[in-house]
Amino acid sequence: MRHPTIDTAEQVLATTYSRMPVVFEKGAGATLWDTEGREYTDFLAGIAVCGLGHAHPAVQAALSEQAGKLLHVSNLFYTKPQVELGEWLIRHSFADRVFFCNSGAEANEAAIKLARKYFYDKGQTGRYRIIAMEQSFHGRTMGSLSATGQAKIRKGFEPVLDGFEFVPFNDLEALHAKLDETVCAVLLEPIQGEGGIVCPDSDYLPAVRKICDETGTLMMLDEIQTGMGRTGKLFAYEHAGAAPDIMTLAKALGNGLPIGAMLAREAVANAFGPGAHATTFGGTPIVTAGALAVVKTMAAEGIVAQAARTGEYFMERLQALERRHDRIAAVRGRGLLLGLKLKEEGAPLVKTCLERGFVINCVQGDILRFAPPLIISTREIDALINCLDDILSTEV
Ligand SMILES: *Cc1c(COP(=O)(O)O)cnc(C)c1O
């Protein structure tokens, strides 16, 4: 019998998702429990969101305390948690200024608007085009959708915004050929997440930086999925040693609280003067107090270095699995953002894993994605590997 919550959900919720048939009730660390008391190990973390895992006491304490003081006053005033979070992000990144919003898509909207405004303010009103990547994902709002290089995601919503063009990811020549005085920015992910955990060559991002410098084009990195320690560095651009001009964050920044951020260098950020861009909820005290607890805990507990170590272990275990199973086509990713490309559809494996108490998901049809909480243990990884080993050995 289906859980009554699922029956109701199928009647009242928009039909935008085909959900897995489980009603989650609570979590702790990398463990989730459903309403029947069944236990699961979470290798998805709400799609690379809950980096510190579920019900982290430091986040809970910060939220409880702030909830008793002030939830929201708008950005017409100053509040301490927002400013302290901004200060923390500036201190730990290339950026000089930060704009807070509520989601990844909104952070990318802000980035797109900022890039256009930057050149508009310089009198270069014809410099508004943005070059993005094929197979990219930047969100579902019209602007971020227009920057998303997957026809299946744009389908049905056309015409999208004018001024977006795509080149193959990891192809410098194609990018170079597109850059002229009509292009304001290049927008890309350091590792394509929804696109299938696609890592570029190690010299790609530094080369993109160089081409952008030579042509006076802004480099915008979408670190919404790769940021906040996910790849084993606080931000994935650190691996490449090439910082962008604009960076967007969301997912793991609030460990589940709805928050996005757009960070930029001073000269670029200044194109957003008073009234140029705004949001009612962005950076509200309750959410930023929670996110501040997240970043402080990550720093105090050495979570990023831990993710790097655990990620290497996980990668080795997946590679060993690949050697044992012909059904695996490739293993890829970095840190704790890992993908297993199959030679078959991934959905049945996702379902079987769930039945056996492991939450994973599938992107692009045939790539299993692993993005567990950064606090995942090697013992939990071993358990998942054994489960996958068993499924791949026995089931068709
Ligand atoms: C999830 C994601 C987004 C969109 O974030 P939302 O909060 O869902 O709007 C944008 N870019 C990347 C790389 C993402 O992974």
Q: Decide whether 4-55+302-394 matches 70-300 in CATH topology.
A: no
Measuring from atom 6 of ligand 1, which residue has the nearest CA?
A: 104
Catalytic residue of the set 42, 222, 245, 366: 222
Query: For strand 97-101 and strand 129-133, is the pairing parallel, antiparallel, or unpaired?
Result: unpaired
Tokens of 153: 């995601």
Catalytic residue of the set 94, 100, 137, 164: 137
Nearest to 3 by CA among 36, 52, 42, 48: 36
H or E element at residue 328: strand 328-334
With the most atoms of ligand 1 within 8 angstroms of its CB, the residue from 133, 225, 361 to mutate is 225
109 CB near ligand 1 (under 6 Å): no
Share of the chain above pLDDT 90, in %: 99
State the amino acid at position 167 in one-letter form: V
The Cβ of residue 38 has, within 10 Å, a number of other Cβ atoms equal to: 13
pLDDT of residue 1: 78
Q: Is the pLDDT of residue 314 over 90?
A: yes
In contact, 59 and 27? CB cutoff 8 Å: no
In contact, 117 and 276? CB cutoff 8 Å: yes
Within 13 Å, how many C-alpha atoms sit on residue 212's CB side?
Answer: 23
∠ Cα 236 306 243 (to 5°): 15
Is 358 an active-site residue? no
Measuring from atom 11 of ligand 1, which residue has the nearest CA?
A: 138
Answer whether the bond into residue 274 is a cis peptide, omega within 30°: no
> Residue 341 C-alpha to ligand 1 middle, in angstroms?
21
With the most atoms of ligand 1 within 8 angstroms of its CB, the residue from 194, 197, 230, 259 to mutate is 194
Tens of pLDDT, residues 59-91: 999 999 999 999 999 999 999 999 999 999 999
- Domain range summary for the chain, segments of one domain joined by +: 4-55+302-394, 70-300
CA separation (Å) from 183 to 113, 206, 242, 383, 395?
13, 19, 20, 49, 50
In angstroms, the CA 253 to CA 50 distance is 9
Strand partners, 370: 338
Is 26 an active-site residue? no
143 CB near ligand 1 (under 6 Å): no
> Residue 390 C-alpha to ligand 1 middle, in angstroms?
33
User: Which atom of ligand 1 approaches the CA of 222 most closely?
Assistant: 13
82 CB near ligand 1 (under 6 Å): no
Question: In the chain, what's the furthest Cα-to-Cα distance?
Answer: 65
pLDDT of residue 396: 62
Hunting for tokens 């480099």 — which residue is that?
219
State the amino acid at position 288 in one-letter form: T
Least confident of 1-10, 25-34, 42-51: 1-10
In contact, 164 and 183? CB cutoff 8 Å: no
Q: What is the mean pLDDT of the chain?
A: 97
> Residue 251 C-alpha to ligand 1 middle, in angstroms?
7
- Stretch 107-122: mean pLDDT: 98
The Cβ of residue 309 has, within 10 Å, a number of other Cβ atoms equal to: 13
Tokens of 65: 């305390």
Sheet containing 358-359: give its strands across: 24-28, 31-34, 39-42, 358-359
> Residue 136 C-alpha to ligand 1 middle, in angstroms?
10
Is 251 an active-site residue? yes
107 CB near ligand 1 (under 6 Å): no
Domain at 4-55+302-394, CATH from 1.10.1040.10, 3.40.50.720, 3.60.15.10, 3.90.1150.10: 3.90.1150.10
User: Which atom of ligand 1 approaches the CA of 139 most closely?
Assistant: 4
The CATH number of 70-300 is 3.40.640.10
